[in-house]
Structure 1
Amino acid sequence: MGCCSSRSSDSPATRVTRWRSTGIVALRDAKLKVVPHEVLQVGNSLRTLDLTNNKIVEVPQEVGTIVNMQRLVLAVGSLSNLQQLTVSQNSLLCLPKSVGDLCNMLLLNVSDNKLNALPESIGGCKSLEELQANGNTIEDVPSSICNLACLKSVSLNGNKIRQLPPNLLKDCKALQNLSLHSNPISMDQFQQMDGFGEFEARRRKKFDKQIDSNVMMGSTALDEGIDLC
């Protein structure tokens, strides 16, 4: 397979060359605490990065610049201390189920990928305050998002969302910002959701001004002014 860095005789340059040729970086069970610098040197040749079962506590921002990456595997329990994960502007097709183990994560940014769904396990991200998933092809939002009591801001612009979990506004009592520009969801659907009045009150309080009870969701759907953002 030639994609692991377990060979003691490997130099960093040799590993980078091999990884570029395969497009795969597999660093399972390597007892890593940080992502090796040579991984980032693979650049746009990198399609799969597997960091399963390590001790990594932080994913470098530079990972988000690897525009051709299709698969990022972070099935590592030690990431429970991770507070921010940004993997925007890549070509990710899905998120691993293990994302739900990130119990201390405050920000998740998966915008501008090729996601058609968010994992149901996202409901395990109990500390999550901000979710950014703009510019994907997401059709449905998992019902488990209603478990996120700390969630304050959700941005889902430019997806294919026709409906939201019915209890989203009711159960996410900290939610203040919701942006759904350029989605096919209707204004009536949104306003008829349980908890809409309470959500609108929180939003008005946040911005400290009188705002009509409408949501700016773009010209293809809610274009009357709900900028729930």
Structure 2
Amino acid sequence: MEKEGKSDADNRITVNVKFSGRSIPVEISSESTVKELKSLIQPLTNVLTRGQKLIFKGKVLMDEMTLKSLEVKNGAKIMLMASQGLHQGDGPIRKEASTLSTVRRMPEAMRPKRDGPQIPVLKSQVERWKATGVVALSGCNLKALPDEVLTCGPSARVLDLSHNSIQHLPAAINSLCSLQKLMLNGNEILDNSLSWEELAFLKSLMVISLNQNHIATLPPEVGALTSLRQLHISHNDLTGLPSEIGLLTGLEVLKVNNNRIHSIPESIGGCASLIEVDLSSNLLVELPETISKLKNLKALYLKNNGIKSLPSSIFKLCSELSILDLHGTEITMDVIRELEGWENFDERRRSKHQKQLDFRVSSSAKFDEGADKS
């Protein structure tokens, strides 16, 4: 006697999604809907479900249709067309972007030349560093930290090594015990390039900027940087944040946009001083409810993520929030208008926008008046 129906394993098929010169195999049940197929395609292509148009045998597939009713069988080829702008992360994953970098760097024309000789450190430079407290070595073709920098000791307050080819900082960096700002944008920094334990000895360190590097993981030791006020790690390869991020109770600005972050730890609620958070262009599908504990939060940037909803208490409890960027997400105005506290948030948003307009008009008028007098 034949069995009635099939097991779930028997229903599994693999379809090949054609997109941007790639063939992407997707395993799914034949009983699934087109909408469920789109959900599986989203993390593989970065294209949001509402930005996907699927075509099979010349027919555009509707969300409510099932693959079985469409006679989509194992090995079937389905074409994906992506609507411009409706994506998460840096943009749709295309054929040429599948190699290791997706190195999210500034355009070639804007980069400093790194193939020339390393600029030598002059004695007069060291004297100036000690006198001003500012060690400025941006765009100097450096591959390592010059030993002369360490001679500045407690005199150094700002260390700018941006746009070089530095891959490693020595543990002796902790000799710069009065350092307040460390700028390492646009280098070759990897996960193990920095000794975060040594950085924790810099008790005055308030700003770390590591934009445009190759960092995939932040270690738990980042939680020891208790004096930190700003943390910038945009345009890297981060896939997440450590739970220890919640120990940074004095952190005011967190910018981790343009990474590959899938989720935010609930401990983010411990960062009670946060004013601005930029999570744009990542792979987020939701936010933890603990975001609502950030009572000082004024600006939250979430554009180009797969987020479909917001924490239910965000407008009610984040009473300072006035900037919320949701462009390129799945969230609609109907969704956020249902949240408690929406009216108060909308009033703050409109008030801030009006103040910005008034400031521009006022500034413009003053400039014109001065121009007339001259």
Q: For 1:72 and 1:45, how far apart are their aligned partners in 2?
A: 12
The one of 320, 323, 331 equivalent to 1:174 is 320
TM-score of the superposed pair, with normalisation by structure 2 = 0.44
Residues 1:121 and 2:260 are matched in the alignment: no
Residues 1:51 and 2:203 are matched in the alignment: no
The one of 268, 283, 298 equivalent to 1:152 is 298
- Superimposed CA distance per residue, residues 120-160 of structure 1 (whole angstroms, 9 cap, x where no aligned partner): 11101111111101000011111111111100110000001
Match for 1:52: what amino acid? E
Q: For 1:41 and 1:76, how far apart are their aligned partners in 2?
A: 18
Deviation at residue 76 of structure 1 after TM alignment: 4.7
**Equivalent residues of 1:80, 1:102 under 8 A apart:** yes
Match for 2:215: what amino acid? M
Match for 2:188: what amino acid? N
Structure with the largest fraction of strand? 2
Deviation at residue 201 of structure 1 after TM alignment: 0.9
**Equivalent residues of 1:92, 1:115 under 8 A apart:** yes
Residues 1:203 and 2:359 are matched in the alignment: no
Q: Percentage identity across aligned positions?
A: 32
The one of 82, 92, 100 equivalent to 2:228 is 82
What secondary structure sits across from 1:99 in the alignment? helix
Q: For 1:145 and 1:60, how far apart are their aligned partners in 2?
A: 23
Mark the CA change 1:202 to 1:71 in structure 2 (over 3 Å): closer, same or farther.
Answer: same
Deviation at residue 60 of structure 1 after TM alignment: 3.6
What secondary structure sits across from 1:203 in the alignment? helix
The structure with the largest alpha-carbon Rg is: 2
Show the counterpart of 1:191: 337
TM-score of the superposed pair, with normalisation by structure 1 = 0.70
Deviation at residue 187 of structure 1 after TM alignment: 2.1
Deviation at residue 77 of structure 1 after TM alignment: 5.3
- Superimposed CA distance per residue, residues 70-112 of structure 1 (whole angstroms, 9 cap, x where no aligned partner): 1232625552221111000000111111111111111100000
Q: For 2:189 and 2:228, how far apart are their aligned partners in 1?
A: 26
Deviation at residue 24 of structure 1 after TM alignment: 8.4
What secondary structure sits across from 2:197 in the alignment? coil
Deviation at residue 55 of structure 1 after TM alignment: 1.6
- Give unpaired runs (5+ residues) of structure 1: 1-10, 14-19, 210-229
Show the counterpart of 1:64: 211
Mark the CA change 1:41 to 1:203 in structure 2 (over 3 Å): closer, same or farther.
Answer: closer
Q: For 2:221 and 2:197, how far apart are their aligned partners in 1?
A: 5
Mark the CA change 1:179 to 1:25 in structure 2 (over 3 Å): closer, same or farther.
Answer: same
